[in-house]
Chain A
Amino acid sequence: MANQSRRQFLKTTALIGAGITGISSKNLKAAPKNILDENRMGVLVDTTVCIGCRKCEWACKVAHNLPTPPIEAYDDRTVFKQMRRPDDKALTVVNEYPPKSSDEFPVDVKVQCMHCDHPACVSACIVGAFSKEENGSVIWDTNKCIGCRYCMVACPFQIPAFEFGKAFHPEIRKCDFCFNRTKEGKLPACVEICPMEALTYGKREELVKIAHEKIRLYPERYVNHVYGEYEVGGTSWLYLASRDFTELQFPKLGRNPAPGVTEAIQHGIFAYFVPPIALYALLGGVMWINKNRKKTSETE
């Protein structure tokens, strides 16, 4: 009999466990449906075409009203001596990686927010200041942000930057895919200015096809890897390169969306408030039993 009930107990616990995981995986899929809009846009960056003219850096600053030196100043190639990262004053930067042998070219890599399909920043933001738009952009709302910087902790590409120098109303800054321009049918500023057409703006699905076609046609020119196709569940920005991406300081990331694990855990602990309420009931029961036990032992 005791055995029976124990087995029963195990069965129920297993069921509850399955229920929780079931619920959580459902929640994962039930993320905002526009996230995987088939018509979402993207940019294909062909690093073998980029010449490191840094015009995109200038155009991006102009488009976002950020202070910038005149465009001629960007011809200065000494900046390539150091690796740079996008920050609160520059939403995109180009880095150059020297050739490995004399018959090779240096590789220039433009860096900015990748506009992930399942963005960690969107999942992490405490107040939902980050949102994934239908066209693929991940944008930030200054009216919500409280400046906790959890989005920065979460982003696998280490992109969002914060205005640490500002005492009042500091902002989180990152590439917004020129949301205000694309909304009006314009190209992103960096894409528009690029003299080499290293950047291609288009439907993400088509860009993936184009990228693979290029690899097929010129196998000696590219490594067989479209960075961003599967990384952290896919990103809107896609990269082609002649070298292994780790040599170009791209982070090595798996295929799972960055927020997947936390959201599963989170929704497991909170699944429809069942676990907290169950715990509450359990503790209440224990308290009540102990109270009564005390009473009876006192009257004895």
Chain B
Amino acid sequence: MENLMKPTPISKKFFTPGVIVLSIFAFIGIVFVILRLLFGLGAVTNLSNQYPWGIWIGIDVAAGVALAAGGFTTAALGHIMRKEEYHILVRPALLTAMLGYTFVALSVALDLGRYYYIWHPLIMWNGNSVLFEVGMCVMIYLFVLYIEFLPIVTERFIGRVNFPGFLKVLNNPVDKLLRLLDRTLNKVMFIFIIAGVVLSCLHQSSLGTLMVIAGPKMHPLWQTPILPLLFLLSAISVGFPMVIFESLITSRSFGLKPEMNLLSNLGSMVAPMLGIYLSFKIGDMVIRKTFIYLNEINTTSILFAIEVVIGIVVPLRIFLSPKLTKTPFGLFIGSALVIFGVLLNRINNFIVAYNPPYKFTPYFPSIGEIGVTLGFIALEVLLFRAFVMIFPIVSVPQYVTPQTKFTVRGA
């Protein structure tokens, strides 16, 4: 029985109870988006002159960018290191990155006081601004991601262009166009793949530089000049766990068998990266002597401790154990913890650590902010599901077996 893995659109029913719950969340999110556009940021969010940035930046943007790191880490592994066996993981990761960054861009737009000026940085440059550089990198990378996704589109539709009715005349030209696109892309794709990895390294680290300018407004446990390095290392560490996590969930939800071999191998690569991240994080703490802040037990120090222990140390231990990385359960828990750790780290950096000298009411996200954040996540999951059902993204075993001969028709 030959067992060839090939990306194929998955045919399943789109609407399941889970999908309906997600749709409700998405709907609520969209309602709040409309309210924000009609009545302004102040009407929907708890942002103030003391706390100019909230969870739309901390979670939707900062954590969103970090958690889309599966895209560039698998691209580096599959295409640059040329580990062919991992190719079946590249497409889902690419899709996640593409959707992730699209929603990052949407969240940024939503958070901008003047969203209709979002194109300004394209022509008004301030090279000293870290935000400018993050913005440019993310914008170009989003474009690169779309290009990287194009071959999947052409693969899906070449020879299958089938417009209804009078649009039929377009069938042939569009098919020709797709074929041309396919051929050119094939030759130049490596340029975009490398660019994608470089751009990711740049903006993942610059995202860390973003808060450095806040200076003493940021809690010393997080404020360090090596923030860019820590952000890059944590993004690299969370890349594979994200891929494992999604792969396990996707196979579960579509009733496929998880590719345990590959995922375990991927899992074994997580430990060294987490180890490096942890050592820099601890080293930085020792050098700057910030551990003294851990003596006082308060929300800040507890969140820092959770971030390091639950988000790095425990999963590190899990990924170091060959026994645990061989089981879907171990892999799942380990990955989930790393993801949780990086998510919490971004929240900590952008929200918890931000401690302005003059404050009146502490910041806590409003229902509207939480609604939009959950709504966007729900939309992303829904789109992911829709995409894997339309496009050849998830690899499923193609049984090329003589068994078909014996199947009874209609059974």
Chain A residues at the B interface, C-beta cutoff of 8 Å: 31, 83, 85, 87-88, 120, 122-129, 144-150, 152-154, 156, 158, 161-170, 249, 251-254, 258-259, 261-263, 265-266, 269-270, 276, 279-280, 283-284, 286-287, 290-291, 293-294
Contact = CB atoms under 8 A, between A and B. Distances in A.
B311 to A, nearest CB: 24
Contact of A286 (B81, B111, B215): B81
Contact of A146 (B38, B118, B225): B118
Interface string B187-229: 0001001110110011001100111111111000000010010
Contacts of A158: 49-50, 217, 356-358
Interface stretch (B129-137, B268-276, B296-304, B392-400): B129-137
B65 to A, nearest CB: 15
Interface string B229-247: 0000000000000000000
B37 A167 contact: yes
Interface in B266-310: none
Contact of B124 (A144, A150, A153, A263): A144
Closest 9 CB pairs of A and B: A147-B113, A164-B42, A167-B40, A290-B82, A152-B52, A128-B126, A149-B52, A127-B124, A147-B114
Interface of B: 37-43, 45, 47-50, 52-53, 76, 79-82, 84, 111-115, 117-118, 120-121, 124-133, 135, 190, 193-195, 197-198, 201-202, 205-206, 209-217, 225, 228, 354, 356-358
B228 to A, nearest CB: 6
Contact of B213 (A144, A153, A291): A153
Contacts of A286: 80-81
B347 to A, nearest CB: 15
A128 B126 CA distance: 5
A127 B118 CA distance: 10
B135 A126 contact: yes
Contact of B126 (A125, A149, A265, A290): A125
Given A87-B49, A164-B47, A284 B194 contact: yes
Given A85-B49, A124-B130, A147-B114, A290 B215 contact: no
B62 to A, nearest CB: 12
A287 B79 contact: yes
30 contacts: A83-B358, A125-B129, A126-B132, A127-B126, A128-B126, A129-B124, A146-B117, A149-B47, A153-B211, A153-B213, A153-B354, A154-B213, A158-B49, A158-B358, A164-B40, A164-B41, A164-B42, A164-B45, A165-B40, A254-B216, A265-B228, A266-B133, A276-B202, A280-B195, A280-B198, A283-B194, A286-B80, A287-B194, A290-B80, A293-B82
Contact of B113 (A170, A249, A283): A170
B52 A85 contact: no
Contacts of B130: 124, 262, 266
A249 B81 CA distance: 56
Given A150-B129, A269-B228, A287-B194, 11 more contacts: A123-B129, A125-B126, A156-B217, A158-B50, A158-B217, A164-B40, A169-B114, A269-B205, A283-B76, A286-B80, A286-B81
A252 B131 CA distance: 26
Contact of B209 (A83, A167, A262, A293): A262
Given A128-B124, A283-B194, A270 B113 contact: no
B198 A276 contact: yes
Contact of A258 (B80, B111, B121, B215): B215
Contacts of A124: 129-131, 213
Nearest to A172: B113
Given A127-B126, A144-B124, A148-B131, A164 B48 contact: yes
A85 B133 CA distance: 31
B80 A287 contact: yes
A291 B82 contact: yes
A166 to B, nearest CB: 5
B194 A167 contact: no
Contacts of B115: 146-147
Given A153-B52, A262-B213, A283 B198 contact: yes
A128 B123 CA distance: 11
A261 B128 contact: no
A146 B114 contact: yes
Contacts of A85: 49, 358
A297 to B, nearest CB: 11
A94 to B, nearest CB: 15
A108 to B, nearest CB: 17
B198 A279 contact: yes
Contacts of B193: 287
Given A170-B114, A279-B201, A162 B49 contact: yes
A76 to B, nearest CB: 20
A123 B53 contact: no
Contacts of A263: 128
Nearest to A149: B52
A147 B112 contact: yes
A170 B111 CA distance: 12
A66 to B, nearest CB: 15
Nearest to B118: A146
Given A83-B358, A253-B216, A286-B80, A165 B225 contact: no
A146 B123 CA distance: 13
A293 B42 CA distance: 58
A269 B202 contact: yes
A128 B128 CA distance: 9
A262 B130 CA distance: 7
A123 B128 contact: yes
A26 B407 CA distance: 76
Nearest to B350: A153
Contact of A126 (B79, B126, B205, B209): B126
A135 to B, nearest CB: 21
A294 to B, nearest CB: 6
A283 B126 contact: no
B48 to A, nearest CB: 7
B112 A148 contact: yes
Contact of B42 (A128, A146, A165): A165
A124 to B, nearest CB: 6
A154 B130 CA distance: 11
Contacts of A169: 114
